[in-house]
Structure formats: structure tokens, C-alpha cells
A and B are shown apart, each in its own frame.
Chain A
Amino acid sequence: MITTVHYLALSAALLLIGTVGVLTRRNIVIILMSIELILNAVNINLIAFSHVWGNPRGQVFAIFVIVDAVAEAAVGLGILIALFRNKETVLADEIDLLKW
């Protein structure tokens, strides 16, 4: 029997995997992919509670989260292309112009 708690645990695990990716990887493309993982973990939570309460509002919020993910990916990848054109690197810790 699969309960909501199973979904919450899975979502927490996916969130932690995404956080590890954001915090430890150097490649910006993979950092952006890890952000997608985090947003999907949020969506699993929203859908699980939407199912439990029999209420479609959770699914509406999941749609808004997906819209945010699309906007974030588009702008992030645009910034990445501009960055690569100017600095010739995609490693996050080599972009330190604002660091003294």
C-alpha cells in the first residue's frame, strides 16, 4: 500500500539530490539541470497533496511551477550563452569578476 508519506519521502530525496547537484557541481549546465530536479520534487509534493484532498488546486500550482521552470531554463541558458561568448568557460567557480 502506497501512502502519501511514500511520495513525500521520494520528493524529499529528489530535493536533496538536486541540492547536492547545485552545491557541488562546477558545470553551469548541470547546475541548471539540478534546479529542474528540485522543481520536480516540489511538483511531486503538490500532486500528492492534490490527490489526497481531492482538490485540483495543487495541480494548478504545479502548472505554475512548470511555467516558472520554463522561464528559468530559457533565461538561464541565454545567460550561459552570453557568458560563454565573453569568458569562454562554463565552470561556475571561474566566473569571479565580482570577487575581490
Chain B
Amino acid sequence: MLTDTILFYIFAAMVLSGGILTITRRNAIHSAISLIVSLLGVAGLYLLQQAEFLFAVQIVLYVGGIMVLFLFVIMLVNLDLAAKERQFNRQWLVALAAVAVVGAEVSYFIYRGAGSIHIADVPVPGMPAGLGNTEMVADSLFGEYLLPFEIASILLLVAVVGSVVMAKKRI
């Protein structure tokens, strides 16, 4: 239990500090590396909650796939000029005020709703014994959610074709 608590705080610190560095750095590459730290923290949180399959997916797909895509685009697009300019737009004060209002709202909801979430904190019995996490996810994904799964594959196909069309010089 104590190890879990310590690990939670380590991963939470990784997630939050990585996130804050991501949105404050001037250099886009530094931002991308901070984002990787944040995503690794999220992966650790998945592992703490026994979602082993998503832990692997997070590292392979996010850190290995999406972040490499980001780094490639950062190298393709010349960001040196952008790094010399103003980093925040003129409406930043309004934006911060709006986010503060949303933050107050969300923390009020969490504060009021904490009791009702707390009741369910004991693990619910009825989890099929002997099934691994990946098997349970696969059972659900390929049984109950087969149609959304196929639609998601079509979405990915459309995204691949769309991004090629967008980045092509002459269509």
C-alpha cells in the first residue's frame, strides 16, 4: 500500500511537471521531450491501476509513435523564427481567467462528489477470475464493441489518406 502511494505521487509529479513544462517551453523540441515525460507518467498510472495492456499501448503508441511524428514535423517545419517571437497570445489573461473558473467548478464537483465515489473504492466482486487484463479487454473489444472497433479502423484509414493528401505538394 505504501509503495503504491509513493509511486502514485512520483507518477503524478511526472505528469504534472511534464505538462507544465510542455506548455511553457519556448523551444518546441523541449516541449516534446517534456510531453514524453508526462506520457510516461500516465503510463505508470495505468500500471498502478492494473491496466497492463494500456500501459504497453501508451508507451508503444504514444511515446514510440505519436511523439516521433511530432518530432519529425518539428524538424520539417522551421520553428526558429517562431521561437524568437512572443510565445503567448494577447488573450492570455482572459484565457487564464476562464480556466480558473472551470477549475473552481471542477474542484467543487469533485469535492461534493467525493463521498459517492468513495463508496465504490472496495474492488467490486464479480471480476472473472483467472482472466488477464489483456484477455478481458479483448473479450470486450471484439465482442460487445466490435462495430465501434471496425468504425475506428475506418477512421484511421481516413486519417492516413487525409494526412497524405494534406501534406502532398500537388494533388
User: Which residues does A use to contact B, with CB under 8 Å?
Assistant: 1-10, 12-21, 23-27, 29-30, 32-34, 36-37, 40, 43-44, 47-48, 50-57, 59-60, 62-64, 66-75, 77-82, 84-85, 89-93
Task: Decide: A67 and B156 in contact? CB cutoff 8 A.
Answer: yes
Given known A-B contacts A24-B95, A53-B124, A2 and B4 have beta carbons under 8 A apart: yes
Provide the bound-state CA to CA distance between A64 and B61, in Å: 13
> Which residues of the partner chain A approach B1 to less than 8 Å between Cβ atoms?
1
Q: Show 26 residue pairs from A and B whose CB-CB distance is below 8 angstroms, ordered by the A residue.
A: A1-B1, A2-B8, A5-B114, A5-B117, A10-B15, A17-B23, A21-B23, A23-B95, A24-B88, A24-B95, A25-B87, A25-B88, A29-B73, A44-B42, A53-B120, A53-B124, A56-B133, A59-B136, A63-B57, A67-B152, A70-B65, A71-B158, A90-B77, A90-B82, A91-B85, A93-B89
* Residues of chain B at interface, number, CB under 8 A: 92
Q: Are A19 and B127 in contact (CB under 8 A)?
A: no
Highest count of chain A CB atoms <10 Å: which of B32, B62, B78, B81: B62
Give min CB distance, B156 to chain A, whole Å: 6
Q: Is the CB of B8 within 8 A of A47?
A: no
Interface string of B127-162 (1 = CB under 8 A from A): 100000100110111001100100010011011101
B51 near A51 (CB under 8 angstroms)? yes
The reply to whether B126 and A54 contact each other, CB–CB distance below 8 Å, is: yes
Which chain A residues border B25 with CB–CB below 8 Å?
30
CA distance A68 to B45 in the complex (A): 21
Q: Main SS of chain B's interface residues?
A: helix
Of the candidates A27, A50, A73, A82, which one forms a contact with B51 in the assembled complex, judged by CB atoms under 8 Å apart? Answer: A50
Q: A23-B95, A33-B70, A81-B76 are in contact. Are A48 and B106 (CB under 8 A)?
A: no
What's the minimum C-beta distance from B9 to chain A, rounded to whole angstroms?
A: 9
Contact A25 B156 (CB under 8 A): no
Closest residue of chain A to B2, judged by CB?
A: A1
Does more than half of chain A's interface fall in helix, strand or loop, or is it mixed? helix
Cβ of A62: which chain B residues have Cβ within 8 Å of it?
A: 51, 54
Contacting residues, chain B, for A44 (C-beta < 8 A): 42, 45
Say yes or no: B106 contacts A12, CB within 8 Å.
yes
